Structure 1
Amino acid sequence: MFESKCKSCLESVKTKRHVLKDEINDAIDKLSKNKNIKFVSDEVYEHRLLQCRECKYLELGTTCMQCGCFVEIRAKLRDLGCPLSKHKRWNPAK
């Protein structure tokens, strides 16, 4: 178990080292059923994930400590950007 203070959590959380990839894929699949939610291309998605992997705020390889999201989900959503917006790491319009 790993304990960390997550920005989106009210208290320190204890979690397994890694969130299962299947759980993240299931969440993305559920989001894809909503016609109002748009996704980025695979190329943009991979670029965004690369930026996250190099970020000092990535925790456990899955969680952004700036906003508390799972980066693999946030990176897939077209209308969301990196929470470090002043650094312009992502272009949410792509």
Structure 2
Amino acid sequence: MGSCREAVGSEVEVLFDGGVRSGQDVMRALALGARACLVGRAYVYGLDAGGEAGVAKAIEILRKELSVTMALTGTRSVEEIDQRVLN
């Protein structure tokens, strides 16, 4: 399976929207060529559970999950994420 970058090159910004529930999902989307991930569901759940503090906590959880996933794959920065991490 090729990445989004291979399919559209630099002509289109690819944003991943839908189904993002963990930092691992963010990693997969970025590895497949997405420029960013939209995390509306996590935002809304956090808002419902704890208002502004809940949103901050939900985003922090996603950030920590992504950080752990990157560490487990030997990836030091978001810029290094590519299809290698999917193997």
Q: TM-score, normalised by structure 2?
A: 0.32
Higher relative contact order (CA 8 A, sep 6+): 2
Q: Whose helix fraction is larger, Structure 1's or Structure 2's?
A: 2
Q: TM-score, normalised by structure 1?
A: 0.30
